[in-house]
Amino acid sequence: MTEPSTQWLPPAAPSPPPQRESRLKRLLGPLGVVGLAILKFAAKLKALLLLLPKLKVLSTAGSMLLSVAAYALIWGWRFAVGFVALLFVHEMGHYMQMRREGVHASWMVFIPFLGAAVGARSLGGNALAEARIGLAGPILGTLGTAALIPFAHGADSDFLRALAFTGFFLNLFNLIPLVPFDGGRAMAAMAPWMWFVGFGAMLAFFIAFPNPVLILFLLLGGMETWRRWRQRHAEAGNEAYYRVPPAARLLVALVYVGLIAACAIGMHTTFVNQSHRL
């Protein structure tokens, strides 16, 4: 995540007939509704992180220590240090790519239970730069997390596997196709037909393999696809912003899908089954 999103209201959906319960409602269930609300709330709260560097109250080191202390209360200090380190690697991906794009970035700030952010006034001035900055975090974060796997297997350490699992989930979570998450940044450089094809592919996958988490991706991805479509022609100059060479669009799409697959496979590889300990 790199900067706040524009506030918007999704179009109102028609109410289902009262005599027939919606299939989506049955699949989503109360937990899914709560999860969707948490995701929306988290997206708005994470956007507020960008205001904190301007207050100059928390330094990077100080906010990191505060986060470690907060996470240690729940997971213990070893896991807390490892988790904050993975957050740092993820955000360093954003920071380094901002520097490469010529964007003046403030140093990063950490907020317990909300993550971390690197503040910037712009994301390069065009959709391709925005996508590169957005994807740089999950790329470096996924590579950093994958580096734990050989050590976890070599030492047969469930602790390192659990830490790697959390790191893969962290990067996958940030690939949600909704601003201000990194996946929403990647969508900026994809052609409109890619937005709808990608949404259709997620819908087909959900029909074949129903999953409450995928429902959240569909809902948020559909909203973001609609918002991006409307925004392209909302103001003068937006068409130039979204003008990206076809080869670059395809590369962004391949990297985005590849990261999702890599994180999902990584979570499967590092999953620690605790059922035998109950």
CB 184 within 8 A of CB 5: yes
In the chain, the largest separation of any two C-alpha atoms, in whole Å, equals 61
47-58: b (≥16 Cβ within 10 Å) or e: bebbebbeeeeb
Please measure the distance between the N-terminal and C-terminal CA atoms of the chain and give it in whole angstroms: 37
Tell me, what's the pLDDT at 135? Answer: 95
In a domain, 131, yes or no: yes
In a domain, 91, yes or no: yes
Q: Which of 119-123, 135-139, 148-152 has the lowest mean pLDDT?
A: 119-123
**pLDDT value at 272 more than 70:** yes
Please tell me whether residue 188 adopts helix, strand or coil conformation.
coil
Separation CA 259–CA 257 (nearest Å): 5
Higher pLDDT, 164 or 108: 164
**pLDDT value at 20 more than 50:** no
Separation CA 144–CA 138 (nearest Å): 10
In a domain, 28, yes or no: no
Higher pLDDT, 232 or 270: 270
CA geometry: angle 132, 135, 139, nearest 5 deg: 120
Q: Which residue has the tokens 């490469």?
A: 100
In a domain, 61, yes or no: yes
E strand or H helix at 41, and its extent?
helix 23-47
In a domain, 275, yes or no: no
**pLDDT value at 81 more than 60:** yes
Separation CA 99–CA 94 (nearest Å): 9
Separation CA 88–CA 94 (nearest Å): 10
Higher pLDDT, 222 or 91: 91
Tell me, what's the pLDDT at 223? Answer: 75
What value does the mean pLDDT of the chain take? Answer: 76
Region of 156 on the Ramachandran plot (φ > 0 left; ψ -120 to 50 alpha; else beta): left
In a domain, 110, yes or no: yes
Higher pLDDT, 38 or 110: 110
Separation CA 49–CA 118 (nearest Å): 8
Higher pLDDT, 224 or 138: 138
Average pLDDT over residues 196-200: 69
CB 113 within 8 A of CB 107: no
Tell me, what's the pLDDT at 82? Answer: 94
**pLDDT value at 28 more than 80:** no
Tell me, what's the pLDDT at 237? Answer: 57
What is residue 8's DSSP assignment? -
Higher pLDDT, 71 or 239: 71
Q: What are the residues facing 109 on neighbouring strands?
A: 117
Average pLDDT over residues 236-252: 80
Write out the residue range of the structural domain in which residue 124 sits.
Answer: 55-267
In a domain, 26, yes or no: no
Highest mean pLDDT among 36-45, 120-129, 184-193: 120-129
Average pLDDT over residues 118-122: 77
Separation CA 211–CA 219 (nearest Å): 13
**Structure confidence by residue, pLDDT tens digits, 155-195:** 999 999 999 999 999 998 888 777 668 887 888 787 666 66
The domain tally of the chain equals: 1
At 235, the pLDDT band (50, 70, 90 cuts) reads low
Separation CA 107–CA 50 (nearest Å): 10
CB 36 within 8 A of CB 24: no
In a domain, 145, yes or no: yes
Percent of the chain's residues with pLDDT above 70? 64
